[in-house]
Amino acid sequence: MKELIDKLQRFLSENPQNVVSVTQGSRRLSKNTAPKYAFTLTDIQILFSGLDSFLKELPKQGFQNGTTITLRKMYGFGASATYKNIEEITLNFTQEQKTEQYVPEMTIPQNIIQTPATYQPPMPVAPAMGFVQVTQNDLVRNEVIRERFEDLKKENAKLDEELKDAKSEIRQLKDENFSLRLKLDTSEEKHAVKLERELLNRKSFLENEGVQTALGAILDIGKSYMESKSNVPALAMPSVSEIKQQFINIISDPSVTDEQVTHWYNLIFAQNQ
């Protein structure tokens, strides 16, 4: 008996998901909570006060020689759990074990099989120390939450990097756009200033008193020249416009002095510098 108890103790202590099931033919040992036909070490300690009492209780529940205890690994929880059988142990109860079931001082819970009682959840262990027993469901749930939290942290870090890259790209595009607009504004401003300056230069040149005097004198000379020298052949320059040719004819007149031509030259070209 001790060897069997030690074996069950080692197996059930290895993992909270390790369980045992008791069967004989169609008879199965059960409890009120799911999984109904599988017992963890905690279940046995709560319902039977230990493995020794658990084994001694089986004959009282109608299990005889040939009863099978199956060591199983449970996957999942509750009614949806699945199992993998690890080992099967066949029990042979001695006459001594059969008689022990009638000993008055042995008190066994009566909350299984035919007269089940409401299953009470395990009470906190050592309440004075603030320690509360954590179920396997809680452990698995906490592990899933922790893994999901780590995944979310990684995803959040990735999104942060993508956001930083996008902000940097937007900032760079804004800088480039500002630079291009500045160049465009500067170019347009320079063009406008240059155009305005040219217009002012032309206007000031035409409004200059000396230029107007020179133009008046040229017109007077040209008029007199055309009247008095209309029959004199002019210098023919096919590549020169008619106006330029007339001006050449005017300054070529013997009555126009070199001083006058120099004065007109200085007046005209001084304004364009």
Whole-number Å distance between alpha carbons of 86 and 20:
10
* Edge-first strand listing for the sheet containing 67-75: 27-28, 18-24, 67-75, 82-91
Confidence check: pLDDT of 68 > 90: yes
Report the pLDDT value the prediction gives residue 249, as an integer from 0 to 100: 84
Q: What share of the chain is helix, strand, coil (3-state, %, to 5)?
A: 60, 10, 30
Q: Which residue has the higher pLDDT, 21 or 268?
A: 21
Q: Which residue has the higher pLDDT, 10 or 114?
A: 10
- Average pLDDT taken over every residue of the chain: 78
Q: Token digits for 141?
A: 């749930």
Q: Which residue has the higher pLDDT, 128 or 4?
A: 4
Q: For 88-138, how does the pLDDT look when each residue is reduced to its tens digit (9 = 90+)?
A: 999 987 654 444 444 444 444 445 444 444 555 555 444 444 445 567 777
Confidence check: pLDDT of 172 > 80: yes
| Residue 248, amino acid | I
Return the domain boundaries, the chain.
1-91, 136-227
DSSP codes, 43-77: HHHHHHSSHHHHHHHHHHTT--TTEEEEEEEEESS
Q: Token digits for 30?
A: 């059960």
Whole-number Å distance between alpha carbons of 234 and 190:
45
Q: Hunting for tokens 């658990």 — which residue is that?
A: 54
Report the pLDDT value the prediction gives residue 125, as an integer from 0 to 100: 46
Q: Name the 3-class secondary structure at 196.
A: helix
Report the pLDDT value the prediction gives residue 228, as an integer from 0 to 100: 57
Q: For 12-67, how does the pLDDT look when each residue is reduced to its tens digit (9 = 90+)?
A: 999 999 999 999 989 999 999 888 899 999 999 999 999 999 999 999 999 999 99
Q: For 217-260, how does the pLDDT look when each residue is reduced to its tens digit (9 = 90+)?
A: 666 666 665 665 555 555 555 677 888 888 888 888 888 888 88
Q: How open is the CA angle 125-128-131, to the nearest 5 degrees?
A: 40
Q: Place 185 in a pLDDT band, splitting at 50, 70 and 90.
A: confident
Q: Hunting for tokens 């008055």 — which residue is that?
A: 104
Report the pLDDT value the prediction gives residue 219, as an integer from 0 to 100: 65
Q: For 206-219, how does the pLDDT look when each residue is reduced to its tens digit (9 = 90+)?
A: 566 666 666 676 66
Q: Comparing 182-186, 192-196, 223-227, which segment has the lowest mean pLDDT?
A: 223-227
Report the pLDDT value the prediction gives residue 127, as an integer from 0 to 100: 44
Q: Place 179 in a pLDDT band, splitting at 50, 70 and 90.
A: confident
Report the candidate in 105, 38, 110 with the shortest Cα–Cα distance to residue 72.
38
Report the pLDDT value the prediction gives residue 69, as an integer from 0 to 100: 95
Report the pLDDT value the prediction gives residue 123, as an integer from 0 to 100: 53
| Residue 177, amino acid | N
Contact 85, 72 (CB under 8 A): yes
Whole-number Å distance between alpha carbons of 87 and 11:
10
Contact 69, 22 (CB under 8 A): yes
Contacts of 57 (CB under 8 A, 6+ apart): 48, 101, 108
